[in-house]
Structure 1
Amino acid sequence: MSSTDESPEPPLGIDPVASRRIFFGMLALVAGAVLAYAWFRGMQSPPPAAVTRDPLLSAGHRIYDARCAACHGPSGQGDGPVARNLPGPSPVEKLSLTDTTWFHGDRPDQVMAIVAQGIPDSGMRGWNDVLDDREIRAVSAYVYFLAGKPVPGELR
């Protein structure tokens, strides 16, 4: 065979059909992420009047929604969307902030330490690298509110 009889090699580059598939696949992933975020934000109900009237609780509510609700749920019952995927026999019970007894302590200093430092080997991360002391105090106060407990004076 002569060199003129050989079939030409395909041009280098990406197949236009494949590149369109990749583009639309990535577009679908981004759209799905945006819709999932909107759905999660829509799950969260507006705060009760008692929260909106109290600047400390209002600040705590905003922080809780942004940092805590994914695991602990919008109302602190441990039913956030991330809770389903956590290991253990009953992650909802472990994550509930509305129980009468808190496993890791219910004194203000203990609650603030948990928010700040987390709980080792539990999936509960500490937030002291993101939140300042005032914000840790506010979200701790909001946790008391969710549990139906009076907010301790030490947090005010």
Structure 2
Amino acid sequence: MEITYPFKTPPYRLMLEKPFQEATSSGHIPYFVLPKVFSHRLEKTLTAPDVETGTLTLYWRGFCQNALPNEDTQLRIIDWLGNTWNHCDLRFANTPYMSCKISGDWRDICKVHNLAEGTIIKFGVIEAFNNSTIYFKLSPYLGVRTTLYAPSTSTERKTFYQSQHYYML
């Protein structure tokens, strides 16, 4: 089935600084599976300050009030690939409105995933309240898995076949 690739401005690009979940050529490639059911969810369009300052600002009412601890603490953020950032600081601010600010490793998350103003991301938690672990992904995220196949017979020259599977998270 043919899928139209979504064009975004700026384009989304993912570059990991180190290999993620490497496998041997004869083994399968492990996948991280995001939880399927979340108690609370939030979709946020990133602003320039969210990305440039290294501090993510979220309104307190709604997601933060219902899902996160109501005190300054450390959060763990897990992305759609399974990468984990354990040093995300949750702080509260009252001006100009009640909000919570996530900093620390948030700056690194923005760099690794090349997040930019206008990028839409989704957050989710699996417990009803007082969560210190937050899952996130790009919205929507279109992925491509490319697999190369080669005949099992050994010759001087081999023909490789390529298949691509597209999926949306």
Taking CA–CA contacts closer than 8 Å with sequence separation of 6 or more, which of the two structures ends up with the larger relative contact order? 2
If the length of structure 1 is used for normalisation, what is the TM-score? 0.26
**Whose strand fraction is larger, Structure 1's or Structure 2's?**
2
If the length of structure 2 is used for normalisation, what is the TM-score? 0.25
